[in-house]
Every structure is written in C-alpha cells, then in structure tokens.
Structure 1
C-alpha cells in the first residue's frame, strides 16, 4: 500500500535499530538472545543482507548492514520481527507485538562514516552478544561479513584490527551525537556534499526542511502546448513527422490510462485514482522529480507505450452543447508539427490524407476506451471506497512527502459495500479492476528502484 517510504538503494549501507516496547526487556535471557541471533544469521543469508556490525541488548537490536537489493532489509526485518514475536509469545504465554513501532533506519555514507557507525554500535554497551569480538579480535562470528572498506584497511587481519581500533580511541561526543540524531530522525548519515549528490541523482529533496503543507500531485507542464481545432483551411499546409521520441512528455508525473492498460502499465508503475472535476485512473511516473518512465533517449522504458502518448500531437474534445459530438484537435506548437517536414494532413483537394484518416480512427477507438474508463472510475469514486494516500520518506518532523493527492481503494470500505453492489461489480469486472489496481501499488518501491538506476 502507499504509505511512508524509507530510502532503500541497492548496494548501500544502512544503520538500523529495532526497539522493544518500553522497558519490556524481551532479550534478557541468553536462550532468547541466541534464538534471535540464529534468526539473524539465517535470514540475513536468505535476503542477502550483509551485516558488518551489531549489538543485541536486552531492549533493542542495532546493526549496520549493506542492502544487496532494494527490498533486502525490509524483508529481512519483517521476517525477523514476526518470527521472534511468534517464538516469544508462545514461550511466555502472551499475545501482541513486542516492538516499539516500526524499526528505524539511516542510509550511511560508508566512504566517510562506515567505521564511525560500526564503532558507535559496538561501543554502546558491554555484552558478548555483539560483533565486537569479530571486528576487533578476529573471533568467529557467522553473522558478520566484512565490508569492502574494512578489507581495505590492510593486507593482514592484524593490520585491519589495528586501524579499526583507532576509531574506538578517536571517537568524539559530537560525532556520536550526529550519528544518534540521524538514526533517531531517520536522516541520512552523510556529508552535505553526499546528500546533495544523492538529491541530484534521485530527483528527491532529502535535506531537512521546515514542515509545511506538502505538495500534491501538481499539474504537470502540459504535454499539449497549444491545442487548436483542426481546420482544413487553416491547417492545409501542416505536416506531421513520425514520433521518434517521447520528450514531449518528459515533465509528466502522472499519466491517464484506460481500463485495458492497467495490466500492461501496472507491471512497472502504480495505478491510482486522481480525484477532481474529472476523476481519472492514472499511472504514477515520478517521486516528485523527473519522469522515471522515459529514458535519456526519449523512449518509454517498457515495450508498451500508453495510448495517451501514442495519440500525440492529436487530441479529442467534446462540443460544449453536445458531449457526444467530437472534434479533432492538434498541438500547433508540437515539435512534430511543421510546414517543412513530415506528411501532409490534407490533400490538395482538402480531403483527409491517409495519415490523418488513420490518426482520427485511432483517436475515436481510444475515445471509446476513455469514456468506458471514466464511467467506471466515477462509479468507484461515488461509492466512497477511496482513501487519500501519499509517498513519503522519514518519520515525524523529518518526514518528507514526495507525492500525495492521489487515492487508492480502501479494502475495508470495499468489503463493507452491500452484497448486491459487490455482486454487480463482480459480474461487470469492476472487482477485477480493483484487485489489479491494488496489486500495482507495490510498484511504489519500483519507482525508488528506477530512481536508483538513474543514479547509477
């Protein structure tokens, strides 16, 4: 579901903290700690999470790890938390969660802060249930994987330990306070230069800013710059070139789709509802920055190009006094339209050229799908089952809303609809459409992956 999103980027390092409920001390007994660490060892391998430093205290589990895939750490933490709760509740005859909300995480600039965070973790408390013996005394520990930067400390383990020990001896209260604050507020543990570079590559605002009203899905710079009614006299000399790229749509953050496109577009992008005077079914293409669906060559990143783009530079509008009567429009300022290159729209006798005939047929066929979609979307909107959602990173005062102002189906409200409505929707395929829509919401994580690929 669309909810607050953490920043997870493949092959990056994270500082993570899982707190127990206040003063519960669910890790007091050694047998419980050993069971928990067995889970850590097993599932860090399952999800390819490389742990470099950790400590297990009676009230928390804290570690530093490299996330090999974007969803490695979220899946690892989900399995770890759930399985230990099941074990603990069964053993001590209780019910309910053990954790103080969701775990906290901070992306770490490992080039400058890796060893500071490692030593910060291992200096937190005196316990044998930590990685200290491995990193500082070279004792066996199946949980730990040395970070590449740790390996670069020397050609022998003795040299590595000697250099790593300097971070214990040179630690400062200021640096510890910075690391602690970044983790608690889920900010990036990094230099300003690193954060700026990451912002530029991801197209996201990651610095702390004063909170205010978050930006909703804004109206994009329009794909159509100057739509005019197509006229055989006025436009008799106009030509239209073949569409070789989609740069005309590079500023779009959302794109209307039809019902028949949910599966194809929804393989990569979240499909949501955008409310307003004309409610629509739309694909989210951005995290508040650049369009992630169009690559540097101006191509759509999958084989399927949405209908809303394929009809450009043409469009269809309804006559004000007769919505069933359609008129053809053209973007006079489109780079595809000129008087010097391309194919003519009209023949010398004023009749339509083959290019225009094909374009009009495509527009009319597409318009049928658009109207069917609008009718079904309006029915879903009117039913009251939609809820506002947002995509955000961070928590509390550090929360940054990337995209909001869109809606998704609330399953609980859906299930409360009367049986006759649900039966009707099932017969007419609306339930299948809703299920497809809900399934695509997992692709919000895909948007973060695409942003990361842009960084690469």
Structure 2
C-alpha cells in the first residue's frame, strides 16, 4: 500500500513529532539540546514557520507550529536535519541518519485544539516523570508561557493571547489550564492524530479540508464497504 501523503496546510497550526532512530537519543547533553533548538530557530525563521510550543525530550521532539506555506514544515525539518544531524554526527563521531524516518504531523483546528495541544506538549516531561512542574523543565516552552523567561524561538498564537488581557492574567489562566492536566483520551487522540497524519477539528473543519485536498482526511472504516441493495 502506498504511503499516505503528509497533509500540511498553510496558515493552520500543526502538531509535529520527530523521533530518534529506533527510539534512540537525539541529544546526548545540554550542548546538543542548545544546538538543536538554535538550529530549529534558524530553520523556522528561514522557512517562515511560527513555533507556538515545543518540548525536546531525549529521544523525540514535539512542536506546535504554523507554516506560512504548505511546504514550510517540510523545508524547516529538512533544514534542521542538515544543520543539526551533521553537527551531532561530527561531535559524537558517528554517521548516518538520526531520525526515525520522516517527521509526523497533523493540522489542527485552532479554536478547538490549539490550547489542548500546547498543554499536551508542555506536560510531556511531567507525564514521563522528568519534571516536578512544567516550568521546571528547561527544554520546553512552558516557562515562557508561564512568564518565567522569554524564549526567542517562540511566536505566541493569538488564541494564547486571548486567554488574558495582561501578561499576568494570561500566565495565571495558563497555569490553571496546565494544572487541569491532560485526560488519557485527549492525550491518545492528540498523539495518534500526529503519528497517523489525521487532522483534528470539528466536522465543518474536516469538511473544509476535504474540499481543499484530494488526500483522505479520516481513516476509512475497516472491512468491506456495505453492499448496495
């Protein structure tokens, strides 16, 4: 069966996942982490992709990002691969690929899923037992959104700004949002959508995407189609 083409849409936020080859580490230490994020910042700016949230774990990367063009995400990740993987290989005396194939991504309806995806991404270290509080994890966007530091990698989405009229109100509202946690079904839905490439949103959002692309936007039902009378 042919591989399903990746669906990327200009102007829409996308949840993106890039894993290490065979679940192996994509960073060995803080020098690698700083280099990867610096290269990501350069690649995002070059290809006009706005990064709204991220988390860099030892063996995978999550991004919430909006490209200005349909090709922006792919070009950004290709650029990141050329820049970072070459530097990583040289530094650690290795060769070959670092990524587990192509990155996975799915477009999201911002009104229904953007803040949920931000929370899912920024609570990743806490869910994996690597941080007591989201803002304690240095390699994510949580501290930025909670007002602990300013992160030059990020471009805040309008929906994040809309949760409060002042920085203090936004940070307090977002703190409360994070403290609600991520339900198991929500985490599964966000993760599966990105890994399988299915967009998330309302029926009208999915219909809009279906009209604008020839690619399937929902998985087909298993089994044979029903027989006509």
Same fold (TM over 0.5): yes
Tell me the C-alpha RMSD between the 2 structures.
Answer: 2.0
Runs of at least 5 residues in structure 2 that lack an aligned partner in the other structure: 126-130, 132-136, 225-229
Cross-structure match for 1:181: 192
Describe how 1:12-411 pairs up with structure 2 within 5 A.
Answer: 12-125=12-125, 126=131, 127-170=137-180, 171-202=182-213, 204-210=215-221
> Contact conserved, 1:53 with 1:144, CA < 8 A, in 2?
yes
- Contact 2:8 2:106 (8 Å CA) reproduced: no
Larger displacement relative to structure 2 (177-186 or 72-81)? 177-186
Q: Secondary structure at the match of 1:137?
A: coil
- CA apart distance, 1:203: 5.6
Asked if the contact 1:49/1:68 (under 8 Å) is kept, the reply is: yes
Render the CA deviation track for 1:126-182: whole Å, top value 9, x for unaligned. 331110100122511110110011112222111112222232133322211211121
Range with greater deviation from structure 2 (169-178 or 40-49): 169-178
Per the alignment, do residues 205 and 92 of structure 1 end up closer, same or farther by CA in structure 2, a change over 3 Å counting? closer
For normalisation by structure 2, the TM-score amounts to 0.85
The secondary structure found in structure 2 opposite 1:37 is: helix
Alpha-carbon distance in structure 2 between the residues aligned to 1:8 and 1:211: 25
Q: CA deviation at 1:205?
A: 3.6
Cα distance in structure 1, aligned partners of 2:199 and 2:39? 27
User: Displacement of 1:82 after TM fit?
Assistant: 2.0
Secondary structure in 2 aligned to 1:34? helix
Distance 2:111 2:214 in 1: 22
CA deviations 1:376-430 (Å, max 9, x no partner) are: xxxxxxxxxxxxxxxxxxxxxxxxxxxxxxxxxxxxxxxxxxxxxxxxxxxxxxx
Q: Distance in 2 between matches of 1:165 and 1:189?
A: 24
Q: How many residues align?
A: 212
Tell me the SS of whatever aligns to 1:94. coil
Choose 1 or 2 for highest CA Rg: 1
1:22 is displaced (CA, Å) by 2.2
- Stretches of structure 1 that go unaligned for 5 or more consecutive residues are 214-456
- 2:109·2:201 contact (CA, 8 Å) conserved in 1? yes
162-171 or 117-126, larger mean C-alpha shift? 162-171
Deviation at 1:26, TM superposition (A): 2.7
Aligned CA distance change for structure 1 residues 205 and 185 (closer, same or farther; 3 Å): closer
- The structure richer in strand per residue is 1
Taking the aligned partners of 1:72 and 1:191, their CA distance within structure 2 comes to: 24
Q: In the TM superposition, what whole-angstrom CA distance separates every residue of 1:232-288 from its partner, at most 9, and x where no partner exists?
A: xxxxxxxxxxxxxxxxxxxxxxxxxxxxxxxxxxxxxxxxxxxxxxxxxxxxxxxxx
Give the Cα–Cα distance (whole angstroms) in 1 for the partners of residues 201 and 19 of structure 2: 23
Distance in 2 separating the partners of 1:12 and 1:90? 36
Structure with more contact order per residue of length (Cα contacts < 8 Å, sep ≥ 6): 2
TM-score by length of 1: 0.44
Deviation for aligned residue 1:197: 3.1
**Could you tell me which residue of structure 1 aligns to residue 128 of structure 2?**
none
C-alpha spacing 1:96/1:145, structure 2 compared with 1 (3 Å): same
Q: Alpha carbons of 1:96 and 1:202: their partners in 2 closer, same or farther (altered >3 Å)?
A: closer
Does the 8 Å CA contact 1:17/1:62 hold for their aligned counterparts? yes
